[in-house]
Structure 1
Amino acid sequence: MRAQFILSEIGIGLRRNLSMTVSVILVTFISLTFVGAAGLLQLQVSKLKDDWYGKVEVSAFLCPTGSAKAQCAAGEASEEQIADIEALLDSPELAPQIEQVYFETKAEAYASFQEYFAGMEWAEMIREEDLQASFRIKLVDAENYQVVSDVLSGRPGIESVEDQRKIFDTLFLVLNRASVMTVGLAALMLLAAVLLITTTIRLSALSRRRETGIMRLVGASNLFIQLPFMLEGAIAATIGALASVAGLWLGVRYLITDWLAQEVVWVPLVQESDVLALAPLLLGVAVLLAAISSLVTLNRYMKV
């Protein structure tokens, strides 16, 4: 009987403040979509770091013909200079830092270049002579790049030493800043959701002052009187959270899994399972918003 009464009161409240309830659902949906997008973006950054940082290499590019660098004054790197570099990489100073060394000739660099950029007209204009031979060095710890760079830089036959992490770090910096911006927008939308839930509960309480007054007179407990109002906010917020989860799942399914993953096959991307893993967090945030809003509103506007 009590459960039936509470459910009927919830239904009355939702119908009386239908427009506000819909607004709460929409604002909660948008704000939690931002929260979920920020979470997925961080998961994506983590996936890329785990995959790419395990593959990054230090590239020691050998002197080509016509280089302006002082160490390349003698022209293209000679066989003797290449042998000296190999000996240096095997030295006690560098060997403990290095996991694997691969020497890529001009012909191999050209073949890789043509394979990677196959079908692009501008790539057909590149000749084998335009590329450089290089040592591809995989480190035991990618953080020790500077040690290897300091030893190799300026050596005769080596034009430059490049750390592939620099390329990735720029990308990760952009993604992390985008994530921070998304979290900021989500925080503003969550604040708007709290204010809307608060207003909705207050209007619902004010519109039913007569009913709550009668309930006080017959000795109803505070929890029994307040529970319908609390559940109204919780239901609206939960619907918004579920809509957010559904929107994120559809977005990942059709934009990433069915489209982007087919075009960018070499990058690990977030999946629908990642959205489902975030779902409990989004639902928890929705319930927390409703709980905070309900407690603040009922304590202030509904003295029972």
Structure 2
Amino acid sequence: MRLQFMLGEIASGIRRNASMMASVVLVSMISLFFIGTGLLAQREVDLAKGYWYDKVQVSVFLCTSQSSDVPSCSDGAASPAQTASIKRELLAQQPLVEQVYYESSTQAYSRFKTQFAASPYLSQISPQSMPAAFRVKLSDPKRYGDVASLVSGANGVEAVSDQGKVLDTFFKILNLLSIGAVILAGLMAVCAVLLMTTTIRQVAFSRRRQVGIMRVVGASNAVIYLPFVIETLVATLLGAVLAIAGLWALIHFGINHLFNHVGSGGDLVSLIGTDDLWAITPWMFVGTVILALFTAWLTLRRHVRV
């Protein structure tokens, strides 16, 4: 009978304060959405590092007949002897240099046509203008600078592309996005706490007569507090459910659909999926419950005199 009475009071309280409860739901949803976004962004950083650090290469571009303005290309296109010398120099750096791939001008032109098929400048590029290159796979990708400095300026070498610098910038951008999402989520969480506190105070004020009667008939503090706590918990959990649904839609219909439609997402980077969302979902619900219970109980202790 007491349980039935309690559930009835909770349902009645939610109906009477529907607008305030809706505000708590929305603010909780937004704050948890940004928290989830920050966690997923950090997960994407970890996945991208694991994917790209296995593929980081130092690209050594050889001289062409059109690169005579480069001091190391004063003799024109790289000769077979210079090409062989550069390859020996790279292979001598084993075990740091794991593999050395040679890409001819014809192969480079074919790859360029595939990657930039829609480019209006494709007709202006000829196979002779594409430099041959050595693609160097490293056993320790973080030491790309050692190999880059070794062959830079060597005869027959036009330029050395340090892909690690590009990737470092990419990871910094992802980290900044992740940090920004977490900071925004923190601000929204503060807003959620303040709104929950205000809601509980207003609801408690509207029920001050009822609380007084319950106290007179001998109800304990826990019995008096419980409806307020459960109402707040229900609202925040509903917000968490909506936030999870929003994150799922973002991944399923946004990220995955976009890259699948483009058809090159899997070749460019390893992407987060719904499995990553389900991995953080329990922690988001646990955090929601702790935040709601702590906020509600502390507010009631301070503002509801029983």
Q: Could you tell me the TM-score, scaled by structure 2's length?
A: 0.93
Q: Secondary structure at the match of 2:95?
A: helix
The residue number in structure 2 matching 1:231 is 230
The residue number in structure 2 matching 1:278 is 280
The residue number in structure 2 matching 1:197 is 196
The residue number in structure 1 matching 2:62 is 62
Return closer, same or farther for 1:258/1:146 CA change in 2, 3 Å cut-off: closer
The residue number in structure 1 matching 2:37 is 37
Structure 1 CA distance, aligned partners of 2:218 and 2:69? Answer: 93
The residue number in structure 2 matching 1:106 is 105
Structure 1 CA distance, aligned partners of 2:5 and 2:178? Answer: 45
Structure 2 CA distance, aligned partners of 1:287 and 1:132? Answer: 60
TM-superposed CA distance for 1:143, in Å, is: 0.9
Which residue identity does 1:128 align to in structure 2?
P
Say what the alpha-carbon RMSD is for the aligned residues: 1.5
- The yes-or-no answer on 1:5 pairing with 2:13 is no
Which residue identity does 1:80 align to in structure 2?
A
Q: Secondary structure at the match of 1:74?
A: coil
TM-superposed CA distance for 1:136, in Å, is: 0.7
Contact kept in structure 1, 2:225 and 2:297, CA below 8 Å: no
Q: Secondary structure at the match of 1:149?
A: helix
Structure 2 CA distance, aligned partners of 1:164 and 1:174? Answer: 16
Contact kept in structure 2, 1:237 and 1:290, CA below 8 Å: yes
TM-superposed CA distance for 1:281, in Å, is: 2.1
Q: Secondary structure at the match of 1:121?
A: coil
Describe how 1:126-165 pairs up with structure 2 within 5 A.
Answer: 126-165=125-164
Contact kept in structure 1, 2:31 and 2:189, CA below 8 Å: yes
Q: Secondary structure at the match of 1:95?
A: coil
- The yes-or-no answer on 1:178 pairing with 2:180 is no
Which residue identity does 1:77 align to in structure 2?
A
The residue number in structure 2 matching 1:240 is 239
Which residue identity does 2:14 align to in structure 1?
L
Paired-residue identity, %:
43
The residue number in structure 1 matching 2:75 is 74
Contact kept in structure 1, 2:13 and 2:231, CA below 8 Å: yes
Gaps of 5+ in 1: none
Contact kept in structure 2, 1:71 and 1:156, CA below 8 Å: yes
Which residue identity does 1:299 align to in structure 2?
R
Number of equivalent positions: 302
Which residue identity does 1:71 align to in structure 2?
S
Structure 2 CA distance, aligned partners of 1:82 and 1:258? Answer: 44
Contact kept in structure 1, 2:31 and 2:185, CA below 8 Å: yes
User: Deviation per CA, 1:5-64, whole angstroms, max 9, x where unpaired?
Assistant: 221221222122211100000111111111111122222222222112211111111122
Structure 2 CA distance, aligned partners of 1:196 and 1:303? Answer: 20
TM-superposed CA distance for 1:278, in Å, is: 2.1
Which residue identity does 1:219 align to in structure 2?
G
Structure 1 CA distance, aligned partners of 2:45 and 2:123? Answer: 34
Q: Could you tell me the TM-score, scaled by structure 1's length?
A: 0.94
User: Deviation per CA, 1:246-277, whole angstroms, max 9, x where unpaired?
Assistant: 11112211122233323133232222222222
TM-superposed CA distance for 1:192, in Å, is: 0.8
Structure 1 CA distance, aligned partners of 2:257 and 2:89? Answer: 48
Gaps of 5+ in 2: none
- The yes-or-no answer on 1:86 pairing with 2:112 is no
